[in-house]
Amino acid sequence: MTADDAPAPFSVIDVSEADIQEAMGEIQGYLDITPDDFRLIYKAAVTHAAQRVCATRTARDVMRPAPPSVTPETGLLRLGESMALEDVSFMPVVSDAEGTVCGVVTARDLVAAVRRDPGKDLAGTVKDFCAGSRRCLSQRLSNARVADIMKDPVTLHIDDPASRIKAMQRDTGHAAYPVVDAGGRLLGVVTLGDIVRGCCL
């Protein structure tokens, strides 16, 4: 992390030469530093502060609590409706009333499930849908369940530190992770955007 890419809460303010001169003039006594030295010290201090605070962050601090979820038996039509309603492209899959995470499902998984041609991209799938094949696509969705397309979950524990979140994102490349308690129950979701905003990257 450098001063120029410090996380949002610690972004370096564009300090002008006049600002520096005025600040130095307010300090009692003789300062044996130049305005450029002052600017470098300021930027370095902001970077160190960001690193110190980020080192104490956990999944609890950056997650989105109480995220929407589905079950393995949820139909894909309902899944699509839920994703559209909640404006999300990722949903944890829970296996019971306790909210135990058993899988994850993404909008990409849903699109792949409705493609008539496995080699066709999203634009091609939408074109087919708009060209009059709604019934075919709806039938395909109505006969499928989340269990047919969900993937094994990669989860974060509620108290996982920023270092583990960074390592997991680097190793898996996933865009979102369910956050669970010691019993595997869903507590929240951490997305790539949350990681960046939470100063974990």
Rounded Cα distance between 167 and 192, Å, is: 12
Q: Which run of H or E residues covers position 193?
A: helix 192-197
pLDDT tens-digit readout, 51-77: 777 788 899 999 999 999 999 999 998
Picking from 56, 80, 101, the residue at the C-terminal end of a domain is: 56
- CATH classification at residue 134: 3.10.580.10
Token code pair at residue 153 = 């979950």
Same domain, 28 and 123: no
Same domain, 158 and 87: yes
Same domain, 26 and 71: no
Same domain, 79 and 133: yes
Rounded mean pLDDT, 3-15: 51
* Spatial strand order in the sheet of 186-191: 64-65, 186-191, 176-180, 156-157
Q: Total domain count for the chain? A: 2
Residue 84 neighbours by CB distance under 10 Å: 10
Rounded mean pLDDT, 92-119: 86
Beta bridge mates, 178: 189
pLDDT tens-digit readout, 19-55: 777 877 888 888 788 888 888 888 888 777 777 777 8
Same domain, 42 and 16: yes
Query: How many Cα atoms sit within 13 Å of 32 on the Cβ side?
Result: 0
Q: What is the pLDDT of residue 195?
A: 83
pLDDT band at residue 156 under the 50/70/90 scheme:
very high
CA angle 66, 188, 54 (to 5 degrees): 130
User: 166: closest CA among 62, 13, 42, 17?
Assistant: 62
Same domain, 114 and 37: no
Picking from 15, 35, 56, the residue at the C-terminal end of a domain is: 56
Same domain, 21 and 99: no
Rounded mean pLDDT, 152-178: 93
Structural domain including 70 reads: 60-197
